[in-house]
A and B are shown apart, each in its own frame.
Chain A
Amino acid sequence: MTFIRLGLWLLQRERASGEWRVLLLALIIGVGSVSTTGFLGDRIKRAMSEQGASFLGADLMVTSPRPIEDWPVPAVERGAPASRPLATSRALEFASMVSRGDAFQLATLRAVDADYPLRGVVRIADRPFEPGAARPAQPPPGAIYVEPSLLPLLSASVGDSVQIGEASFRIAGLVAEEPGQLGGVFGLAPRVFLRADEVETTRVLQPGSRLTYLYQFAGEPEQLAAFSAALKPALDSTQRLIGSREGVETLRGAFANADRYIQLTALISLLLSVAAIAIAAHHHALRHYDQAALLRCFGTTTAQLRTLYAVQLLTLGLLGSLAGVVIGALTQQALAGLILPGAVTRLPSLGLAPVGVAIASGLLALAGASLPALMRLIRVPPLRVLRRDLPPLPVAAWLSAALSGSALLLLIAWYAGDAKLVGGFVGALIGLVGVLILLARLALVAGRGVQRMSHGPLRFGLAQLLRHRFDSTLQLGAFTLALFLVALLALVRSDLIAGWQQQLPPQAPNYFLVNIAPHQQQAVAAYLSEHRLEASALYPMVRGRLVSKDGVPIAETLPEDARDTNTLRRELNLTWTATLPANNVVLAGRWHGERSADAPVKGTPVGAPPPSSDPSAAPVKGTPAGTPLPSSDPSAAPVKGTPAGTPLPSSDPSAEISVESGMAERLNLAVGDQLGFQIGDQTLAARITSIRSVKWDSMQPNFFVIFAPGQLDTLPASSIASVYVPPDATGVLPGFVKTFPGITVLALDKLIANIEAVFAQIIGAIQLLLGFLLAAGMAVVVATLLASLDARQQEAVLLRTLGAQRAYLAKGLWSEFIALGLLAGLLASACAEIAMALIANRLFELPLRLHPWLWLVLPLGGALLVGMSGWLTTRHITRVPPMQSIRALN
């Protein structure tokens, strides 16, 4: 008989005895929570990228100035017959004049097919500022849909006909909402949707016309990944591939934090189950020393013993992992259906990747956690059959540490996939284990004092705790670890949520007034104050393109692969102010406002008091978060087209600018560099004097480049203001549009609602993940308790034989467990506060704060949790008659 068969046979026989149950249970809980996290995380990520897709209108979009005929091999129409081909839609975007009578207006026309948009919705309304109904973006033949702002410019209303080129179209509806609307914030020409098959009739397209072909794709993530990988090399520098995640940059911070949080939760559930498995494996090995010794007596070699136990572990690992995966899939199905459906339009199908990951990590965790125990088990001296007290030969500590350590590191690295996270985690865990052992010892010493003062079962329970100092330290450490990690993630969760909610204050500006001409400022202010609407600060804005660095064309200062960046491709919104905007932090250099504070400040508020003296408007000053979004201006050509010999800027060389840190990093910019900008037909140079970090998801004014006042003043600038319009006051807006036809009014309610939906989704998911983490924590507690069961039972039998009453023993056990839980809760509170202080800032960029309630909740929760599970695990030992127990123990 091979030892593989023997191992399986023994495993099968022991299944009935329940020896393996603890280990298997720990494994199932571990893998179950990991796969739930994995499935859920995978789904959430995909749901979020769908949310992003609905902003973009597709999962992937390719823009090109020329039609693309040859698509790469996993081709769109030639998709493998087995799988559904990618859904596609084509649109053509160009600028053209729209006229009605004597009125002319430049508009951005998008000629769409019947499938546009592939993701998200287009809402068409009959009157301005109405929510409208979801409809295909393709109008009926002979009709167009227009952005409401076009109506006053042409003195038209819905139902009227307008002229585009040689064709006449009826305005069939108003575009109330469209995917990628945010991208159009500063596209000054209003949007018009027309049918792709009617472009010909307008005859506006001439050779040389500036066109943008938009190719949209939607499908399964794997398909899309393969497609975009094949597509990328085929695109030239004028063509762009946009993923759904780029659909809305405002949410980037929230996406990143949620991603990180999900990773962290998966990692911690996994580590907790590793702890549970390690405890169970150690216990299992302890109970199998005799078996191993006997097998050695019968002539089994080390290698055979290794095969035997490895086969058993592998079998258990596979069984536990599979069961865990099934449980994970079922649970997440139930829970995702419960929590996510309202937030997502279409729940993505279950990914297969998490199954593989969960099984592999279950096996890896089992190997890492049980190797030291297994190594001791196969090194049991055969003489143990004669002398029961003989311990197994010690395994070189470094060897087992190296084996387990590298397995765990592999797991952590696999999950985190981020060097910073892995490093932080490993360091923190090593430190934590050391601190926990020390604290647990100290706490037990302190417990001695309490024990002396107590009496009855309490005294007995505490004495038990102190007598088994090693076991108590282990249990206390394990409970503390479980409570600490659960508390930590709960804290990060509530801080994350609070952080997000702060970003969306209830009175965040929901409308933006774009393109306010200098001479209109007073009138706009008067109009708003007449209607009791409060506008934010007014930011002057000039559009310009970054062209050079220290006199060299900027593209040439960058490596080939870094040139393809949005920052260079499009015009930037340049502003000037002496006041550092809220949520901006100077990382390097010195804010120019600090030197020129006494200089006259442009961009003063419209009618409203200056931002600094307006506390109510403080968090929502200025322009929307949309500033860094790609402009949809179809005329924006890539910067590569700029001539190499850009004329050197002729303006004041002492001009100062502040640059956003991400842009500085992408373009390799540093304080002291001189940048050249092309603004209209003028060039302008300025020196970087500071680099700022910007909170993009703050819904506050955000600019890549801020000039010191005095540099751009002479250039033609329009301004931007934001205003909060309460839901009952939207009736004011049609009047405003009529009064100021040149000013674009943008409604951002939809965007804010979408952002809130994404946050709600993430928050719901995070609460779920926390529940599973709790289960993993429970596994540690239960595994630890079960491991101590034999010794407890032995003692209980002895004590009952010596005359201890059942109630006395029960109270003693309760006291012991409650004391353990209380202590663990206190230690966990301390650890959690410290860890929060360390990671909140670094990992999640959250403000530091203390959590006094933690010190109450954790010890009480710990006492309850450990007390209950302790009692449930051990209650039978006080009930079984001593004689029966003695026989069982023999």
Chain B
Amino acid sequence: MTPPDSTQFPAESTSALQSHGVVFARALSQRVTTADGELAILSEVELAVKAGETLAITGASGSGKSTLLGLLAGLDQPSAGEIMLLGQRLGDLDEDARARLRAGRIGFVFQSFQLLPALSALENILLPLELAGRADARERAVYWLDRVGLAARAAHTPRQLSGGEQQRVALARAFATDPEIVFADEPTGNLDADTGARIIELLFELNASARTTLILVTHDEALAARCQRRLHLVAGQMREAALA
């Protein structure tokens, strides 16, 4: 990778974001090789997110939203460009070092909830706490399950929970470790409008009280509207929309 060319970025924003920002991306591109040749999924995306900020990444299906989210969270490596996550240059880190960076500092919420089917609601929340080595893991898990209103369902497995309940467990799991950033991928995508609305409420309430940076991918206008900033992707190209 070529060294970052600071002239492409305003000098002020570079230094300010590097000192205060939690996510910082420059000239980010992702290309894949298909049978029909090379396909650009993301092209030259520039992004800076400050601590405590909420950002919605929107766009049509296939516009590259989830790919961008994955890159920002360090789940994948870009074809070109550079990402700073929590003060670390991801390009300098290997897969395991990126994993260590995520541990306990980053939370995730997924469209398909991604709860482990064999674990109870409480245990699903417990899992990242245990992984982060938190001594008070169980107390925190109980607390967070209560926070999302499911204290009575602690022993239930995902199969015994409705979609909305499963997503609440997922929210509790994401916030339980006091992460600095929560990445959410279409958190209401699998839910009906009412349930989705309640999940949005809960998500922003938890985010506000924890003062977490929230980066979410959605094509739900209502959800995007709740964020402070919105990044619109069209065919992998960035169109930063109005700030909220």
- Give chain A's interface residues, CB within 8 Å of chain B: 1, 6, 9-10, 13-14, 16-17, 19, 290-291, 294-303, 381-383, 385-388, 887-888
CB of A294 within 8 A of CB of B116, answer yes
B-side contacts of A16, CB under 8 Å = 118
Is residue B210 within 8 Å, beta carbon to beta carbon, of the partner chain? no
Known contacts A295-B131, A300-B99; decide if A386 and B117 are in contact (CB<8 Å): no
Contact with A along B97-136 (1 / 0, CB 8 A): 0011111111010101010111100010001101111000
Task: Output the nearest chain B residue to A16 by Cβ-Cβ distance.
Answer: B118
Q: List 23 A-B contacts (CB under 8 A).
A: A6-B130, A10-B116, A10-B118, A10-B119, A14-B118, A16-B118, A17-B118, A294-B114, A294-B116, A297-B75, A298-B127, A298-B128, A298-B131, A299-B100, A299-B102, A299-B131, A299-B132, A381-B75, A382-B95, A383-B70, A385-B75, A385-B114, A387-B70
Task: List CB contacts (< 8 Å) of B24-40 with chain A.
Answer: none
B-side contacts of A385, CB under 8 Å = 75, 108, 110, 114
Task: Output the nearest chain B residue to A299 by Cβ-Cβ distance.
Answer: B103
Extra contacts, 7 of them, besides A299-B104, A386-B75 (Cβ < 8 A), are: A10-B118, A17-B118, A297-B108, A299-B103, A383-B76, A386-B110, A888-B159
CB of B76 within 8 A of CB of A298, answer no
CB of B99 within 8 A of CB of A1, answer no
CB of A298 within 8 A of CB of B96, answer no
CB of B99 within 8 A of CB of A386, answer no
A-side contacts of B137, CB under 8 Å = 1
- Provide the bound-state CA to CA distance between A294 and B99, in Å: 11
CB of A298 within 8 A of CB of B103, answer yes
The 10 closest A-B CB pairs, nearest first, are: A299-B103, A17-B118, A301-B96, A299-B102, A14-B118, A382-B75, A383-B75, A383-B76, A1-B130, A298-B128
Task: Output the nearest chain B residue to A3 by Cβ-Cβ distance.
Answer: B131
CB of B99 within 8 A of CB of A301, answer yes
Report the minimum CB–CB distance from B120 to chain A (whole Å).
Answer: 8
CB of B118 within 8 A of CB of A19, answer yes
Known contacts A297-B75, A298-B128; decide if A386 and B185 are in contact (CB<8 Å): yes
Task: Output the nearest chain A residue to B65 by Cβ-Cβ distance.
Answer: A386
CB of B127 within 8 A of CB of A887, answer no
Is residue B66 within 8 Å, beta carbon to beta carbon, of the partner chain? yes
Is residue B69 within 8 Å, beta carbon to beta carbon, of the partner chain? yes
Report the minimum CB–CB distance from B75 to chain A (whole Å).
Answer: 4
Report the minimum CB–CB distance from B142 to chain A (whole Å).
Answer: 17
Residue among B102, B110, B118, B123 making CB contact with A298, cutoff 8 Å: B102
CB of B116 within 8 A of CB of A291, answer yes
CB of A13 within 8 A of CB of B118, answer yes
Report the minimum CB–CB distance from B222 to chain A (whole Å).
Answer: 22
- Provide the bound-state CA to CA distance between A223 and B174, in Å: 65
Task: Output the nearest chain B residue to A6 by Cβ-Cβ distance.
Answer: B130
CB of A381 within 8 A of CB of B102, answer no
- Provide the bound-state CA to CA distance between A291 and B103, in Å: 16
Report the minimum CB–CB distance from B103 to chain A (whole Å).
Answer: 3
CB of B100 within 8 A of CB of A301, answer yes
Report the minimum CB–CB distance from B139 to chain A (whole Å).
Answer: 15
Report the minimum CB–CB distance from A300 to chain B (whole Å).
Answer: 6
- Provide the bound-state CA to CA distance between A6 and B131, in Å: 8
Task: Output the nearest chain B residue to A888 by Cβ-Cβ distance.
Answer: B159
Task: Output the nearest chain A residue to B166 by Cβ-Cβ distance.
Answer: A890
A-side contacts of B108, CB under 8 Å = 297-298, 385
Task: List CB contacts (< 8 Å) of B71-111 with chain A.
Answer: 73, 75-76, 95-96, 99-106, 108, 110
- Provide the bound-state CA to CA distance between A575 and B130, in Å: 85
Known contacts A302-B96, A382-B99, A383-B75; decide if A13 and B119 are in contact (CB<8 Å): yes
Report the minimum CB–CB distance from B219 to chain A (whole Å).
Answer: 15
Q: Which of A17, A300, A383, A387 gathers most chain B CB within 10 Å?
A: A383
Q: Which of B66, B70, B118 gathers most chain A CB within 10 Å?
A: B118
Report the minimum CB–CB distance from A425 to chain B (whole Å).
Answer: 39
Report the minimum CB–CB distance from A218 to chain B (whole Å).
Answer: 56
Residue among B112, B123, B133 making CB contact with A1, cutoff 8 Å: B133
A-side contacts of B106, CB under 8 Å = 299
Q: Which of B106, B119, B133 gathers most chain A CB within 10 Å?
A: B119
B-side contacts of A300, CB under 8 Å = 99, 103, 131
Report the minimum CB–CB distance from A287 to chain B (whole Å).
Answer: 10
B-side contacts of A19, CB under 8 Å = 118
- Provide the bound-state CA to CA distance between A303 and B95, in Å: 11
- Provide the bound-state CA to CA distance between A846 and B3, in Å: 75
Task: Output the nearest chain A residue to B177 by Cβ-Cβ distance.
Answer: A298
- Provide the bound-state CA to CA distance between A303 and B103, in Å: 14
B-side contacts of A383, CB under 8 Å = 70, 75-76
Residue among B96, B102, B117 making CB contact with A303, cutoff 8 Å: B96
B-side contacts of A302, CB under 8 Å = 95-96, 99
Task: Output the nearest chain B residue to A887 by Cβ-Cβ distance.
Answer: B159
- Provide the bound-state CA to CA distance between A712 and B185, in Å: 101
